Structure 1
Amino acid sequence: MPVKVSVIVPVYNPGRYIEDCVGSLLRQSLPDDEYEVIFVDDGSTDDTPARLDALAAEHSHVHVFHQENSGWSGKPRNVGIDAAKGEYVMFVDNDDYLGDQALERMYEYGVANAADVVVGKMAGKNRGVPVELFRRNHPRATVANAPLIDSLTPHKMLRKAFLDRTNLRFPEGRRRLEDHVFVTEAYLRAENVSVLSDYVCYYHVRRDDASNAGFQRFDPAGYFGNLREALDVVERYTEPGPLRDRLYRRWLRNEMVERLRGKRLLTAPEDFRKDLFQEIHKVVVERFGPEVAAGLPATQRYVAKLAEQGRYGHTLAFAEWEAAIGVKSVPERVEWQDGALRIVFSAQLALHGEPMTFPAGAEAPGAEPPESVRDAIDWLGAEAVTRFGKSSLDLVFKERSSAAPHFQPVRVDHETVPAGDGRVRLVLRSTAVVDPATAAGDTPLTAGLWDAVARLRLAGWTKEVRLGPAPKGERSLPPAGVAAGHVVLPYWTEPHRNLSLDVDKAAKRLGLARIAKDQVTVVDGRLSAPLPLYVPAATEVAVRLTSPASPTPVEVPGTLAPRPSGGGSLLTAALSTGLLADGVWRAAFVPVPGASARHGLPIELRSRSGRVELVRAAGPGLAGRVARKVRGLFGAGR
Structure 2
Amino acid sequence: MSVIIPAYNAMPELTKCVTSAMEQTLGLDKIEIIAVDDGSTDGSGRELDRLAQNCSSLRVVHQPNSGGAGGPRNTGLDLAGGDYVFFLDSDDYLGPDALRRMVAMADENRTDVVLGKMVSVGGRAVPTAVFSHNQPRTDVFSSHAYRTLGCWKLFRRSLIERLDLRFPPYRNCEDKPFTAAAYLNADGVSVVADYDCYYSRNRQNGNNLTLTAADLVHRMDGTRLCFETVARYLGPGPRRDRIMRRHVEWELCGPLRALLPREGEQQAREYFYPQFRQWAQSYVTDGVFQLLAPPDRLIVHLLRADRYEDLMTVARHAKEDATRGNIVDKGRVYWSHPFFRDPAKAVPDVCFDTTDRIPVRHELAEAAWRGDGDVLRLAGHAGIESLGPLQPTSRLILRPSGFRHPDIGVPATVGTAPPGVSGAAARFTVDVDLSTVDSGAPLGDGRWDLYLDVRAQGVSRTVRLRQSRTDADVRRTAPPQRDLTTGSRPGHGRTTARPFFTPDGNFSLDVRHTGAEPAGPVTGIAWDTCAPATLVVSGRLTDDAACHPAPTALRAEEDAGSVLEVPLLYAPDGSRTFTARMPVRQLRPGRWTLTLGTDDPRNRLAVPAAEGLSGTRWFRASRLGRPYYAKPLAGGPKGALVLRVAPVRLAAALRRRLG
What one-letter code is carried by the residue in structure 2 that aligns with 1:31? G
8 Å CA contact 2:98–2:197 kept in 1: the answer is yes
Provide the rounded CA distance (Å) in 2 between the counterparts of 1:394 and 1:102: 34
The answer to whether 1:15 aligns with 2:15 is no
The answer to whether 1:40 aligns with 2:8 is no
CA change 1:387–1:230 in 2 (3 A) is closer
The answer to whether 1:124 aligns with 2:113 is no
Pick aligned residue for 2:203 from 169, 194, 207: 207
Shift of 1:118: 0.7
Cross-structure match for 1:414 = 383
The answer to whether 1:74 aligns with 2:60 is no
User: Where do residues 394-473 of structure 1 align in structure 2 (5 Å cutoff)?
Assistant: 413-415=382-384, 427=424, 432-438=468-474
Q: Secondary structure at the match of 2:197?
A: strand
Pick aligned residue for 2:55 from 50, 54, 59: 59
RMSD: 3.9
8 Å CA contact 2:21–2:94 kept in 1: the answer is yes
Pick aligned residue for 2:353 from 383, 391, 394: 383
The answer to whether 1:282 aligns with 2:272 is no
Please give the per-residue CA displacement for 1:318-368, whole angstroms capped at 9, x wherever unaligned: 345541478xxxxxxxxxxxxxxxxxxxxxxxx4xxxx753356433799x
CA change 1:272–1:205 in 2 (3 A) is farther
Provide the rounded CA distance (Å) in 1 between the counterparts of 2:381 and 2:18: 43
The answer to whether 1:235 aligns with 2:203 is no
Provide the rounded CA distance (Å) in 2 between the counterparts of 1:38 and 1:99: 18
Pick aligned residue for 1:149 from 136, 139, 146: 146
Shift of 1:54: 0.7
Shift of 1:302: 1.6
Please give the per-residue CA displacement for 1:275-310, whole angstroms capped at 9, x wherever unaligned: 544432232224433332222122321222223334
Pick aligned residue for 1:83 from 79, 85, 100: 79
8 Å CA contact 1:224–1:283 kept in 2: the answer is no
- Output the TM-score relative to the length of structure 1: 0.53
The answer to whether 1:6 aligns with 2:2 is yes
The answer to whether 1:260 aligns with 2:256 is yes
CA change 1:431–1:66 in 2 (3 A) is same
Pick aligned residue for 1:363 from 327, 331, 334: 331
Q: Secondary structure at the match of 1:323?
A: helix
Q: Secondary structure at the match of 2:51?
A: helix
Provide the rounded CA distance (Å) in 1 between the counterparts of 2:312 and 2:472: 46
Provide the rounded CA distance (Å) in 2 between the counterparts of 1:411 and 1:155: 40
8 Å CA contact 1:234–1:247 kept in 2: the answer is yes
Cross-structure match for 1:98 = 94
- Output the TM-score relative to the length of structure 2: 0.52
Farther-moved stretch of structure 1 (205-214 vs 90-99): 205-214
8 Å CA contact 1:127–1:206 kept in 2: the answer is yes
Structure 1, unmatched stretches of 5+, are: 327-350, 396-409, 441-638
Provide the rounded CA distance (Å) in 1 between the counterparts of 2:39 and 2:260: 35
Cross-structure match for 1:183 = 179
The answer to whether 1:304 aligns with 2:300 is yes
Identity of aligned residues (%): 31
Cross-structure match for 2:314 = 318
Aligned residues: 386
CA change 1:381–1:16 in 2 (3 A) is same
8 Å CA contact 2:95–2:199 kept in 1: the answer is yes
Shift of 1:254: 0.5
What one-letter code is carried by the residue in structure 1 that aligns with 2:474? T
The answer to whether 1:115 aligns with 2:83 is no
Shift of 1:20: 3.1
Provide the rounded CA distance (Å) in 2 between the counterparts of 1:321 and 1:314: 11
User: Where do residues 559-578 of structure 1 align in structure 2 (5 Å cutoff)?
Assistant: none
Provide the rounded CA distance (Å) in 2 between the counterparts of 1:218 and 1:416: 35
Please give the per-residue CA displacement for 1:513-560, whole angstroms capped at 9, x wherever unaligned: xxxxxxxxxxxxxxxxxxxxxxxxxxxxxxxxxxxxxxxxxxxxxxxx
Please give the per-residue CA displacement for 1:35-65, whole angstroms capped at 9, x wherever unaligned: 2321011222221111101100012222211
What one-letter code is carried by the residue in structure 2 that aligns with 1:383? D
Cross-structure match for 2:288 = 292
Cross-structure match for 1:541 = none
Cross-structure match for 2:137 = 140
CA change 1:315–1:207 in 2 (3 A) is farther
Shift of 1:23: 3.7
Shift of 1:190: 1.5
Structure 2, unmatched stretches of 5+, are: 365-378, 390-421, 427-465, 477-659
Provide the rounded CA distance (Å) in 1 between the counterparts of 2:11 and 2:39: 13
Q: Secondary structure at the match of 1:40?
A: strand
8 Å CA contact 1:8–1:37 kept in 2: the answer is yes
